[in-house]
Structure 1
Amino acid sequence: MSVYGLAAQVMQQALEQGQQAGYGEQELARALMTEVLAVYKRGRTPADIAHELNFLAENLDEDQDYAFMRP
């Protein structure tokens, strides 16, 4: 299993547990993002984290190529 497959599996399990505990999907996603940032902070600079988050935000549309990709 790839690391992305593992992350998807962990997310699905967390969503199911969150729903059982009465938490909404968006609420849980926000809490998980906070935990991801805490892990990032252990080994990355704030500028590096911000750069990655900006890249992800600029490429949210799955129907468009990433900005750095050539046609």
Structure 2
Amino acid sequence: MGVHEWARGEVESSLQRAQEQGIEPLLALRALLSAVVAGNQRLRQSADLAAELQFLADNLDDQRDYSFMRP
């Protein structure tokens, strides 16, 4: 199992536990995101973290065609 598969499993488990406690999925995901960002801030430079978050935000559209992906 790769690290990304592990992380997806952890998120799904966390969402299931949140639902069992009556916490809405969107609220749980926002709280998890905040916790992950806070954890990253302890280990990384703010500019590095901001650049990665910006890259992820810029690439949210799964349907977008990127020129570097064309043959």
TM-score (norm 1): 0.88
Identify unmatched segments of 5+ residues in structure 2: none
- Residue identity over aligned pairs, in percent, reads 37
Q: CA deviation at 1:38?
A: 1.5
| 2:20 aligned partner | 20
Q: Which stretches of structure 1, 4 residues or longer, exceed 4 Å deviation after superposition? A: none
Alignment-derived partner of residue 31 in structure 2: 31
* Shift in alpha-carbon separation, 1:33–1:21, aligned structure 2, 3 A: same
- Taking the TM superposition and a 5 Å limit, the aligned residue runs for 1:44-59 are 44-59=44-59
Give the CA RMSD over aligned residues: 1.5
User: Shift of the alpha carbon at 1:62?
Assistant: 0.9
Question: 2:14 and 2:35 mapped to 1: Cα distance?
Answer: 13
What's the TM-score once normalised by structure 2's chain length?
0.88
**Deviates most, 53-62 or 38-47:** 38-47
Higher share of residues assigned helix: 2
Q: Which runs of 5+ in 1 are unaligned?
A: none
- Deviation of residue 70 (structure 1)? 4.2
